[in-house]
Structure 1
Amino acid sequence: MPNFTSHRGLFVGLVTLDLIYLADSPPRNNQKIAATDYTLAAGGPATNGAVTFSYLGNQSQVLGVLGCHPITQLIRGDLTNYQVAIADLEPSIITPPPVSSIIITQSTGDRAVVSMNAAKTQASSGSIPANILQDIDIILIDGHQMAVSITIAEMAKAQNIPVVIDGGSWKPGFEQVLPFVDYAVCSANFFPPNCNTEAEVFRYLSGFSIPHIAITHGEQPISYFSTHTMGTVDVPQIQSVDTLGAGDIFHGAFCHHILQESFTDALARAAEVAADSCGSFGTRRWMEV
């Protein structure tokens, strides 16, 4: 890993347990299949971003709902292994955390996912721990804890802490976060209300005076709008083993690089990290290669 100055990042959003299988293909109706490999890890966009940010030499903290169900020990163990701290918005709840089952197609690296998001585990802004932003250098919001995210974004703006959104898909309430955002890094599946094209998405986000906007397209170049300039950033071309979590990893790497590089350079470096992650099965093994 490169020797950069260590920073502190807060990653706000979804915490899941991911059960990940490698197989020839997803099962058809009423079919049983055997996996050729299997792994288990904490998941969710903010969570995987936090793990990446920590792996790159920083201090990460996830702000989300975990609770005290026995399954949460598996999540805690994984995050402890990667030195990611947890700020639990609902530490006393006994319901199980969201669990995702994911099948990776061995020949292509494509993924099929069945998951629960945070719809049943929404926390209120009153659950935010005191002094949560103390000494924080950057914040990422994935939109899965919207009430908390709105408050955190407003607090961050008042303290001049840069805010990044992971716009994997549009979620109601994002419009209340966007006025406080410095970097909107979205997928090609991110379509705000009444937006049907990429140009309309750029116009919508620019209407909130967000200074830096990017839209990723998997293995295709990243589109961006920054300092009144539009352009593209090329991404590495690789043979993917597993694309699971690549977007989350991209965002965690972006949070690392944007604290020391330009917007376009940070996008390019984040794309390199995400491409590297696609060369190994699961969301963690690329860190061990």
Structure 2
Amino acid sequence: MEKYGLFVGLVTLDLIYLAQSPPQNNQKIVASDYTLAAGGPATNAAVSFSHLGNQATVLGIVGSHPMTQLIQGDLANYKVGIIDLDTTTQNAPPVSSIIVTQATGERAVISINAVKTQATSESIPPEILQNVDIVLIDGHQMAIGSEIAQMAKAKNIPVVIDGGSWKHGFDKVLPFVDYAICSANFSPPSCHTEDEVFTYLSEIGIPHIAITHGEKPIRYLQNGKGGVIDVPSVPSVDTLGAGDIFHGAFCHYILRESFTTALEQAAHIASFSCQFFGTRRWIDSPQ
């Protein structure tokens, strides 16, 4: 049975190159492959969630610059809806240029995030949470995310955060979060170790916390009880977007399974995606 997810945050245009290595100063290199897709943590998560058989909508700023047609076309292709928080802006969308190293799958990224394109809570459409089963917030539209998190909490809609890194204002969102899925780079103020991060989030009252480490095991804390989940070992072609894909898959499975099973299944999907170049080709390949 399909569910409806709302994914709040960053919408970018990603230019992705596959090459032997990133260029050095004053060096020109030729890529062996290239792809273009809509990007951003919430956006890639929405694509993953949609692919697994659900309805997904991204809530972010897209605007009316000519480049946004590329974003809209890509998301339409993967059946992801867009609710634009600022349809009138003619500014170019944030663009990420990414070089994936052919031998290792590691990526180098240069981008502009949503700092220059922040919406206010007045931009939130009425009835935004009607029929929504789960909300994911990536922290790139913090005023919007904070308001949506409070609204979701009041309606008993589960809230997931993509804690890729600490962002100013996350402290306003966290009290309303049910599932904090963080990377090893997520460091709240005054937290210097992973155990301190678990303690910080637990004391806020978040019942389900996980910290991912790429191909290494996931640590989790569920209602005060900790554990570890192994990640499948795969030959990695491209790690770009794997965390975002993990979050979208987690949102799918947590509506159907236990916390630990959802983490396991999401890790399986994310690992599978790493065997393909770019953030979309895994979708077109049978598992």
| CA–CA separation in structure 2 for the residues paired with 1:65 and 1:204 | 31
Q: Note the 1:255-274 alignment, pairs <5 A.
A: 255-274=251-270
The 8 Å contact of residues 138 and 161 in structure 2, kept in 1 or not, is answered as: yes
Per the alignment, residue 233 of structure 1 pairs with 229
Runs (5+) with no aligned partner, structure 1: none
1:153 aligns with 2:149: yes
The CA distance in 1 between the partners of 2:148 and 2:25, in whole Å, is 43
In the alignment, what sits opposite 2:159? 163
Distance in structure 1 (CA, Å) of the matches to 2:4 and 2:197: 30
1:228-260 deviation digits (Å, cap 9, x = unpaired): 210101110111000000000000000000000
Aligned-partner SS, 1:50: helix
CA shift digits 1:203-245 (9 cap, x unpaired):
0001110010000001111000002210101110111000000
Pick aligned residue for 2:206 from 210, 215, 219: 210
Matched, 1:125 2:96: no
Deviations 1:69-109 (A, max 9, x none): 00000000000000000000001100000000000000000
Aligned length: 285
- Structure 2: gaps (5+ residues): none
- The Cα of 1:191 is off from its aligned counterpart by 0.2
Q: 1:275 aligns with which of 254, 257, 271?
A: 271
Secondary structure, counterpart of 2:23 in structure 1 = coil
1:96-115 equivalences under 5 Å are: 96-115=92-111
Take 1:233 and 1:261, find their aligned partners in 2: how far apart are those partners? 15
In structure 2, how many angstroms separate the alpha carbons of the residues matched to 1:249 and 1:109?
16
Please identify runs of 4+ aligned residues in structure 1 that moved more than 6 A: none
Task: Please say if 1:52 is aligned against 2:79.
Answer: no
Q: Distance in 2 between matches of 1:150 and 1:219?
A: 31
Partner SS state of residue 245, structure 2? helix
Work out the CA distance in 2 between the residues paired with 1:227 and 1:71.
45
Q: Deviations over 1:15-40 (max 9, x none)?
A: 00000000000000000000000000
Inter-partner Cα distance in structure 1 for 2:174 and 2:112: 25
SS of the residue corresponding to residue 207 of structure 1 reads helix
The Cα offsets for residues 189-209 of structure 1, whole Å up to 9 and x where unpaired, read as: 000001010000000001110
Could you tell me which residue of structure 2 aligns to residue 70 of structure 1?
A: 66
TM-score using structure 1 length:
0.98
Q: Which residue of 1 aligns with 2:243?
A: 247
SS of the aligned residue for 1:149 comes to helix
Structure 2 letter corresponding to 1:276: F
Q: Among residues 30, 35, 38, which one is paired with 1:39 in the alignment?
A: 35
Q: Letter of the 1:58 partner, please give it.
A: N
**1:52 positional shift:** 0.3
2:184 maps to: 188
Q: Deviations over 1:261-288 (max 9, x none)?
A: 0000000000000000000000000111
Q: What amino acid sits opposite 1:34 in the alignment?
A: V
Q: What is the rounded CA distance, in whole Å, between the counterparts of 1:238 and 1:61 in structure 2?
A: 30
Amino acid at match of 2:95: V
- Matched with 2:24 is 28
| Amino acid paired to 2:224 | H
Match of 1:221 among 214, 217, 223: 217
Q: Deviations over 1:167-205 (max 9, x none)?
A: 000001000000000000000000000101000000000
Please say if 1:142 is aligned against 2:138: yes
SS state at 1:266 partner: helix
Task: Give the percent of matched residue pairs that are identical in Structure 1 and Structure 2.
Answer: 69
Of residues 4, 9, 15, the one that matches 1:13 is 9
In the alignment, residue 149 of structure 1 is paired with which amino acid?
G
* Deviation (angstroms), 1:130: 1.1
Contact kept in structure 1, 2:165 and 2:185, CA below 8 Å = yes
Secondary structure in 1 aligned to 2:129?
A: coil
What is the TM-score with the length of structure 2 in the denominator?
0.99
